[in-house]
Amino acid sequence: MKVLATKAVYFLIIIIALGGFINSPVALLLGFAFALTFQNPFTAYSHKAIHYLLKIAVVGLGFGMLMKETWETSLEGFSLTVFSIFLTVGIGLLLVKLLKMDRKLGHLITSGTSICGGSAIAAISPVIKADSKTISIALAIVFLLNSVALFVFPAVGHYLNLSQNQFGLWCAIAIHDTSSVVGAALGYGEEALRIATTVKLSRTLWIIPLSIFSMFLFKTKGEKIKIPYFILLFIVAIVINSNHLLPASITSFIVLVSKRLLVTTLFLVGSTFSLSDLKVTGYKPLVLAVSLWLFISIFSLIYITL
């Protein structure tokens, strides 16, 4: 009976999220509350759903963007993207040595912080042959910081009176996971959402050179590099919208559904929260992750505002 009730609550929240009755932070909080109150009856399926729903939603957002604006936004964020990635990876490698912590765990946390959270960790982990425990700890820490960012960034953005452009760029650079980037920008404004999504996806492409660098760093051979192919579909969606190949009513509906899918994804992310994963981390991985996050947040904010 308890299992049935748990499943009923789980699906009820998903229906509420898909119906557009809650926003991103509320969805994440409900996910946390669910994980702490009940035991997720679909943990394995939730992880798979997050993986696919996020990509589908991001591609759908492309139907609300125009090619010229997207290209200009990508160029605008390019120099900051390059600086932040190189500096974060460099500082991360240095801190791992100073903290004398596990190299693979430190590298995964650094990769997730410098590029795109869980996606970077998932891509880099097979390249450096990280074990499942190391991967889960890195994901748990990055997930925790993503969750904090979803609430902190909009509050800081409003306090500093950041423009839509500034906030979108800041989110894309300083928040790890694409889901949290889009979730934070979603409530800030349409332009912030467009800029955050575009810059974040162009940043995601840096997984490829980072994977190659990781192969040399850990002296691994024969490992496949995961290429984020869904970004190509995102570009196709932008091209379709830019050339008005679909009626405006259809593209508007696709964008609306995509936003609701993102909110639903954030609930799923919250529902997979595990205190046990965080308890085994110790203080060193947290020190590394928080230090890198504070650096990239403050550095990018100063760069953008000045």
Question: Mean pLDDT over all residues of the chain?
Answer: 86
| % of the chain exceeding 70 in pLDDT | 95
Give the burial class of 69: count Cβ atoms within 10 A of its Cβ; 0-12 exposed, 13-18 middle, 19 or more buried.
middle
Of 297, 71, 294, 306, the closest CA to residue 195 belongs to: 71
- 50-64, 155-169, 171-185: the lowest-pLDDT one: 50-64
For the cut 70, the answer to whether the pLDDT of residue 225 exceeds it is no
Q: Give the tens place of pLDDT for each residue, 49-107.
A: 877 887 888 788 889 888 887 787 777 778 888 889 999 999 999 999 999 998 999 99
Please report the DSSP string for 152-218 in residue order.
Answer: HHHHHHHHTT--HHHHHHHHHHH--SHHHHHHHHHTT-HHHHHHHHHHHHHHHTTHHHHHHHHHHHT
Identify which has the larger pLDDT, 140 or 233.
Answer: 233
Q: What's the one-letter identity of residue 172?
A: A
At 93 the pLDDT is 93
At 221 the pLDDT is 65
Domain ranges of the chain: 2-305
- Our separate counts of H helices and E strands in the chain read 15, 0
| Secondary-structure percent of the chain, ordered helix, strand, coil, rounded to 5 | 80, 0, 20
Contact by Cβ (8 Å): 255, 190: no
For the cut 70, the answer to whether the pLDDT of residue 224 exceeds it is no
Identify which has the larger pLDDT, 209 or 98.
Answer: 98
